[in-house]
Amino acid sequence: RLKQLAEREKALAVRQKEAEGQLDELKRQRDAFDADRRVTEVRLQQREHDLARREVDLAARELAARELAEAAGRDRAQYQSDLMRVDRLSAALEAKERSLADRAVDVDRRYEQFQRDAKDFEEQLQLFDDREERAKDTEARLAARTEELDARETKLNQRLAEIETQQTTLVALRTKLEHLRDELRAQEARVSEERARTDEQARETEERLRKAETVREQVETERSGHEESSRLYQERAARMAQAADRLRAMQEQVTAEGDRLKALDEELSAKAAEQAEHAGLIKAKAEQLLEAQQRVEADRRALREREAALRQSEEAREALQEQLRLRSEELVARQREVDDRARQLDAQAGELADEIKRLEELRADAASARRLTDEEAAILAQRDEKLRAAEQTIADQQRELTEAQARFEQEQVEGEGQLARARVEIEELKDALSVRTNELLAQMPELEQRAQAAIDRTAQAREAMRAQLAELHAYALKSQEDLSAVRTQVQDELNQLRDQEQALNRARSEHRLAVSSFRQQLIEWQNRFAGMKQALHQGETRLDRREKEVAATAQQLAERAEQIQQAEQEVTEKRTEVDRHLGDMRAWYRQKFREIAETRWSKYHGQDARGRGPGAEESSILPLPELREGPIPRQYSALQPQDSDILPLPGDLEPGDRKLGELLRSLDIVERDTLHALWDEARRQRRTLRQVLLAGGYLTLYQLALIESGNLSGLMLGRFRVIDRLLSTPREAMYRVFDPQARPEADGPSEAGTCMLRHLGEAEMLDAVRPDEYRQRFGAARDLAHPNVAGTLEVLEVNGRPAVVQEWLRGLPGTEWTAATAAPGVWHRLLMQAALGLHAAHSAGLTHGRLTAASFLLTRAGVVKLIGIGEPPWLHPGGADREASVEGDLKALGQVALAWMQAGSRRRGFKPKPFPPGLLEIVRGLGASPDNPGVPFGVYPTAAALLEDLDRVAGELPADH
């Protein structure tokens, strides 16, 4: 043990050295962090002079400074807490080492005493080995017999559990068959009732036909009287008119009777539905009561099984105690023989030999007591295993009952679906009978055949169910016979086990008597050696506790080192990822700056004989003034294409331009030659470098603010390069970004890869519903691909929050359209495209809810784009309370269309063409009117109806030139 303590002390020393190394590393990190912080503070102090005249950049720089200060405070607090924790651990280790050194001396002294006592005990234990071997052999035989009995008992319990499971399954199947039989009987009764109702309606229809035939015969009689006497023409004509009136009255009576019958049929159907629903509720309650009763019975069975198991375990324990008593009696007898022999052999040893013999008996008693404790622990463990097996059996039965209930519910739903389909067919038959009576007579044979076929199918199903039920009954009888045979076999085995247990109990009783007599002889020696054992036990307990404390401390240090290592690894991985993204972004910026510089230098390298060549066109990045006729400026005349890589450093730069250029170079986002070209361009235009970059449209104010604050990481959002921040609210932020993975399908090379990124705010992530709604609505908009709807390209995750990539559109918003929209042809084309986009969104299950003139944008190609599809209503203030609908969108479109129509009337000197009546009707169909703005009108039900009317009136439009 001393060697182990020494090795652990060495391990603690090594870990302490590792902790000191980590402490040194933390100190170096703190120094580096302090240096970075000082550099940052110096940089912030230098930039405070420019913040006074740059109000636009103030928010970005203050935000960067606040983030740096918060990060520094957090890192400093974390470092101080870690340092204090390391100091406390070091002090605790030193105190523990001193305590270990003090106790090591005491342990050495006690160890020497223990060695002397051990030598004495070894001499005494040599005589006791034979007795222990004999006792071990006897215990091994008893243990083997006990294991055999336990194995047989476990096997019997398993077979009983399988039999009970089969019985439960048979009961469930029988219950299911009963339910199916009741459902078939109910269905048969409903079919019979429907058939009787149909026959009654057929009889009523035949009676109506007979009445109509009687009327027809009367009319024929009157016609024959008209042919017999021409003198009475007027009278017969009056009679015919009266007959016609009676016929019309009878037809009206027949129609009224049909309406009354239809209403009565509907009332009967409603009552039947109510009765079916009431029957379903009663059936559900009955099933619930049955399930509750089954659960109660299962609980009772489980309790009975547990009580039986407890009784069995108690009987086994009593049997084991009896065997131990018998074994103890046998040991007492054997001990007496050994004592007689020992007294004969030790007559010369005297009192010393007697004491040695008593010590041996004390050791044997301690060993037997320990074995008894182990046997009791084994018995308790077996009891726990039996309880666990019983609980597992109950859980399996519950799971099978749940599965059977789910299958029954599914079959019940299928049966209800079949009944619903049958009810629908009967309703269709009723409608056919009430609409056309003559067709009823023609369809009656077919309906009778269908009913007969349904009855035949029901009979066939009944026969099949009867056959299955017979098979199940036969299987149940066979299972019961097998169960009775198994029970007989189990009963025989139980009788054999009882006989064996009785024999074992007798042996245990004899053993227990021997052990008890032997224990009484050793009580005196236990009192003598109790003090010495207690002292040794206390010393070992203190050493074990100390050892556990040292091991716990070492484990805590190891866990802390592992946590530090994991944190360092995570920081390294994140730093690598950020460095890679920053490297890609720097390369992208260097390429863009190189493009602008090459565009600028191409003016002078591509001149023709007149001093102006094709390369003198204006740059698409920097709006440069026209190049004057004349020689090349002196500062550029000496530059040749092969010498463009070596540029002299300008000496007359402004301090602001030089500072901005050095910042761009220090951030590695521009090359040296490109920076010189930009300086020359700024000097040629007599502007600052900052104005040149902003005026050329190459850098936005947001980009330049982040670059000047040194926050390059703010220009990256995942794989996207941020060009400008369009909107920032607590709910959502919108950016114009560059996607390097996008396909070049934009309006031109300058727009390739440009798109709009919408990022959900951090405050909305606390809501349990809104992030999922955000993803679902924009996911539906992504699946919608229509030329008149602003496209949603991708839905992804950025920094653990949902984000949406949308198409970047350039054009004229609807709020800035001119009076040309008041022309009927232009108005028709604009409204047609807007309706097409709205119809596509409604077909995909999406509504707008906030449709205004700003929701439309006219691109350079003349295509109208609908903006805002897929946006959740809570993104806008007060939008969460409004419910979007198709009717609301169409009404809002009507107001927008009316504003387009009236745009020409607000312009002086402009007389718009009159709108055709068809277009005015379309406006009224959208809930608006140019003549009576306050009068409400009906609204189209869908956008498809609006598109049909727009196509219809397209031919009435005058030509627009």
pLDDT greater than 70 at residue 114 = no
Q: What average pLDDT does range 110-136 have in this prediction?
A: 69
Report the chain's mean pLDDT, rounded to a whole number.
Answer: 73
Architecture of domain 718-808: 2-Layer Sandwich (3.30)
Which pLDDT value is given to residue 148? 76
Q: What average pLDDT does range 477-502 have in this prediction?
A: 80
Which pLDDT value is given to residue 574? 65
Secondary element (H or E) of residue 738: strand 732-738
- Residue type for position 776: Q
Q: How confident is the model at residue 802 (pLDDT cuts 50, 70, 90)?
A: very high
Least confident of 27-41, 156-170, 212-226, 660-674: 212-226
Which pLDDT value is given to residue 635? 39
- At residue 860, the 3 state secondary structure works out as coil
Which pLDDT value is given to residue 655? 78
The listed range with the strongest mean pLDDT (219-228, 268-277, 438-447, 482-491) is 482-491
Which pLDDT value is given to residue 409? 75
- Residue type for position 756: M
| Angle subtended by helix axes 943-952 and 917-925, to nearest 10 | 180
Which pLDDT value is given to residue 805? 93
CA atoms of 688 and 123, how far apart (whole Å): 104
Least confident of 357-366, 567-576, 824-833: 357-366
Q: How confident is the model at residue 789 (pLDDT cuts 50, 70, 90)?
A: very high
Q: What average pLDDT does range 38-42 have in this prediction?
A: 77
Kindly report, residue by residue over 400-440, the tens digit of the pLDDT.
767 877 776 787 777 677 777 767 776 776 666 666 666 65
pLDDT greater than 80 at residue 934 = no
DSSP for 638-693, please give it: T--GGGTT--PPPSS--HHHHHHHHHHHHTT-S-HHHHHHHHHHHHHHTS-HHHHH
Which pLDDT value is given to residue 4? 78
pLDDT greater than 50 at residue 740 = yes
pLDDT greater than 50 at residue 625 = no
Q: How confident is the model at residue 608 (pLDDT cuts 50, 70, 90)?
A: very low
Which pLDDT value is given to residue 607? 41
Whether 837 and 865 have beta carbons less than 8 Å apart is answered as yes
CA atoms of 417 and 184, how far apart (whole Å): 14
Q: What average pLDDT does range 289-296 have in this prediction?
A: 69
Kindly report, residue by residue over 530-541, the tens digit of the pLDDT.
777 676 677 667
Q: How confident is the model at residue 152 (pLDDT cuts 50, 70, 90)?
A: confident
pLDDT greater than 80 at residue 845 = yes
Which pLDDT value is given to residue 759? 92
Which pLDDT value is given to residue 796? 92
The listed range with the strongest mean pLDDT (212-216, 466-470, 501-505) is 501-505
Q: How confident is the model at residue 613 (pLDDT cuts 50, 70, 90)?
A: very low
Per residue in 175-198, is it b (16+ CB within 10 Å) or e — as a string?
A: eebebbeebeeebbebbeebbeeb
Question: Which has more confidence, 438 or 924?
Answer: 924
Which pLDDT value is given to residue 630? 40
Q: What average pLDDT does range 127-148 have in this prediction?
A: 72
Q: What average pLDDT does range 144-173 have in this prediction?
A: 72
- Residue type for position 9: E
Which pLDDT value is given to residue 836? 92
pLDDT greater than 70 at residue 128 = no
pLDDT greater than 90 at residue 242 = no
Q: How confident is the model at residue 247 (pLDDT cuts 50, 70, 90)?
A: low
- Residue type for position 472: L
Q: Determine the topology of domain 811-961 in CATH.
A: Transferase(Phosphotransferase); domain 1 (1.10.510)
CB neighbour list of residue 921: distance below 8 Å, 6 or more residues apart: 949
Least confident of 103-107, 395-399, 904-908: 904-908
Question: Which has more confidence, 936 or 683?
Answer: 683
% of the chain exceeding 70 in pLDDT: 62
Whether 84 and 730 have beta carbons less than 8 Å apart is answered as no
Which pLDDT value is given to residue 632? 39
DSSP 478: H
Which pLDDT value is given to residue 347? 65
Kindly report, residue by residue over 626-668, the tens digit of the pLDDT.
434 344 344 333 333 333 333 444 556 677 777 777 777 777 6
- The sign of the dihedral angle between the CA atoms of 690, 696, 702, 708 is negative
Q: What average pLDDT does range 743-763 have in this prediction?
A: 72
Q: How confident is the model at residue 557 (pLDDT cuts 50, 70, 90)?
A: confident
Q: What average pLDDT does range 329-356 have in this prediction?
A: 66
CA atoms of 788 and 830, how far apart (whole Å): 11
Secondary element (H or E) of residue 758: strand 754-760
Q: What average pLDDT does range 174-186 have in this prediction?
A: 72
Tokens read off for 408: 């029954």
pLDDT greater than 50 at residue 365 = yes
Question: Which has more confidence, 406 or 216?
Answer: 406
Q: Residue ranges of the domains in the chain?
A: 2-126, 606-708, 718-808, 811-961
CA atoms of 898 and 902, how far apart (whole Å): 6
Least confident of 642-646, 739-743, 748-752, 893-897: 642-646
What pTM value is reported for the model?
0.39
Q: How many CB atoms lie within 10 A of CB 366?
A: 15
- At residue 467, the 3 state secondary structure works out as helix
Which pLDDT value is given to residue 850? 86
The listed range with the strongest mean pLDDT (466-480, 491-505, 790-804, 924-938) is 790-804
Which pLDDT value is given to residue 618? 36
Question: Which has more confidence, 519 or 909?
Answer: 519
The reply to whether 718-808 and 811-961 are identical in fold is: no
Which pLDDT value is given to residue 804? 94
Whether 820 and 912 have beta carbons less than 8 Å apart is answered as no
Which pLDDT value is given to residue 55? 61
Least confident of 67-71, 299-303, 349-353: 349-353
Closest CA to 440 of 252, 199, 253, 263: 199
% of the chain exceeding 90 in pLDDT: 3
Least confident of 282-296, 591-605, 646-660, 944-958: 591-605
Question: Which has more confidence, 262 or 484?
Answer: 484
CA atoms of 276 and 618, how far apart (whole Å): 82
DSSP for 229-289, please give it: -STTHHHHHHHHHHHHHHHHHHHHHHHHHHHHHHHHHHHHHHHHHHHHHHHHHHHHHHHHH
pLDDT greater than 80 at residue 551 = no
